[in-house]
Structure 1
Amino acid sequence: MLYPELFRSLESVRWSMDKDIPWDQFDASKLSEEQAQTIKMNAITEWSALPATEMFLRDNKHDSDFSAFMSIWFFEEQKHSLVLMEYLRRFRPDLVPTEEELHAVRFEFDPAPPLETLMLHFCGEIRLNHWYRCASEWHTEPVIKHIYKIISQDEARHGGAYLRYMKKALQDVGDSARAAFSKIGVLMASARRTQKPLHPTNLHVNKDLYPKDTIQSRLPDPDWLERWLDGQIDFNADWEKKVIERILHNMGLLFERTFATVQDLNRYRKEVISNLTAESAEPNAA
């Protein structure tokens, strides 16, 4: 069971909103209107940990260990939303999200295979870690620069925790887990080939609500994410390369292989599928 160990590990590095955020260093002259608006959008986006947690608990009723870990993940992700809102409350109270704006991103996600969802969110944590690091560099106001840096570190730790559960899944179900993880890994490491940013908050998750079935589509400004990445923080090809390298590196650790490119990972995926196909055909052959 991983939950007790992960609880102790994450508890030991947990930051305090009162003691670890340098609120007294705020410099109003270094916060632009454009920057402040993006903080509001990220605060609402982080609130979507609420429906994501409801999804995880629903789809992982068979796994009490992982479900218990959700108590940590949910707490820390909601804390990200809270610290961004606290920043706005102190320095731009006119931009604090309303309860209605927050509630708009709480909706039911369609059931999905839990292993694929786990891998999707693992990649999402890697991507968000890099988005927030990039955002920290873009911002000029020192307090929000620090906030983005500190929550980016949380996202990296969350990715590490998800990786532990992925390793556990390999032990429990073998090639079925390898097929699920490699499939999503290929998708998420191929983001440069897509028009929209590949992140769980930007994927369609409820066919009955389409097209308003992504977190981003339910924000006050549904188009802000692409503008934030491309026109504001400038999440360019060099940053995207870092994301892909981290995904491939972690897939190498998980599968005990070396993946220099997405194509390498895709070849591995096909190899695993071939093994599964052969295994399923064995009883019939007998």
Structure 2
Amino acid sequence: MLYPELFKQLEAVRWNMERDIPWDRFDPAQLSDEQAQTIKMNAITEWAALPATEMFLRDNRDDSDFSAFMSVWFFEEQKHSLVLMEYLRRFRPDLVPTEQELHEVRFEFDPAPALETLMLHFCGEIRLNHWYRRAAEWHTEPVIKAIYETLARDEARHGGAYLRYMKQAMSRFGDEARAAFAKVGVLMASARRTAQALHPTNLHVNAKLFPRDTIQSRLPDPAWLEAWLDKQIQFDAVWENKVVERILHNMSLLMERSFASVQELNRFRKEMMAKVGTPPLAPA
């Protein structure tokens, strides 16, 4: 089991909301209305760990080890939402999300293959780590800069934990796991060729609710994410390349095979698909 060891590792570096956030450094002159609005949207987006956890527990019913780890992941992700709301409560109480705004992003996700979902969220943690690092650079107010830096480190650790479960899955399922991870890896490393940000909160997950079946579509401002990325934190090609490089680097370590480009990873995906007899992947 991985859960006991991961619990100890994450417990050892867990931050305290009262002691480790520099609340006394708040500078009101450095917080604009525009910046405060983005904090609200991120607080609601982080609340979506709730339906994601419900999905993980449902689709991993036969894996008690991973399901137990969800207790740690869920706690830390909900804490992200909480610390952002605490920031607003202290400094912009008019923007604290309402309970209804939070509940709006809790809806059922359609069942999906557990291995593909695991890889999807691994890539999502990598992407969110980079988004939050860039947000910390964009913000000018010292306390929220520190908060985003703290959240970014958490997301990196979560990615590392998911990677451990991916290694475990490969020892159990072999080429089936390799095929699933390569398939999703190609998709998640191909964001430059898509019209939308490739993150779990921005993907369609419930056919019956389409088109309001993404987390972002259920925010008070559904267009917020794209504006945040493109116009505010300016997550440009340089930063996107950092995400792609991290995905390829980790896939290289995981598969013990070098992938210098998405094209090389895609060739590996085709090899694995041929081995397990899975239909070819549609173009990204």
Partner of 2:142: 142
Aligned pairs for 1:206-225 (under 5 A) are 206-225=206-225
Aligned pairs for 1:111-150 (under 5 A) are 111-150=111-150
Q: CA deviation at 1:260?
A: 0.3
Deviation per CA, 1:206-242: give whole Å up to 9, x if none. 0000000000000000000000000000001000000
Deviation per CA, 1:40-68: give whole Å up to 9, x if none. 00000000000000000000000000000
Partner of 1:283: none
Greater C-alpha Rg: 1
3-state SS, counterpart of residue 195 of structure 1: coil
Partner of 1:182: 182
Partner of 2:282: none
Give every structure 1 segment of 4 or more consecutive aligned residues whose post-TM-superposition deviation is greater than 6 Å. none
* Residue 229 of structure 1 pairs with residue 229 of structure 2: yes
Partner of 2:173: 173
CA distance in 2, matches of 1:89, 1:49: 21
Deviation per CA, 1:11-38: give whole Å up to 9, x if none. 0000000000000000000000000000
Partner of 2:38: 38
3-state SS, counterpart of residue 110 of structure 1: coil
CA distance in 2, matches of 1:239, 1:116: 24
Aligned length, in residue pairs: 278
- Counterpart AA for 2:110: D
Q: CA deviation at 1:277?
A: 3.3
TM-score relative to the length of structure 1: 0.97
Q: CA deviation at 1:276?
A: 2.1
CA distance in 1, matches of 2:277, 2:70: 33
Partner of 1:239: 239
- Counterpart AA for 2:41: M
- Counterpart AA for 2:198: L
CA distance in 2, matches of 1:56, 1:271: 28
3-state SS, counterpart of residue 277 of structure 2: helix
Deviation per CA, 1:53-87: give whole Å up to 9, x if none. 00000000000000000000000000000000000
Deviation per CA, 1:185-223: give whole Å up to 9, x if none. 000000010011000000000000000000000000000
CA distance in 2, matches of 1:273, 1:236: 32
TM-score relative to the length of structure 2: 0.97
- State the Cα RMSD in Å: 0.8
Deviation per CA, 1:241-268: give whole Å up to 9, x if none. 0000000000001000110000000000
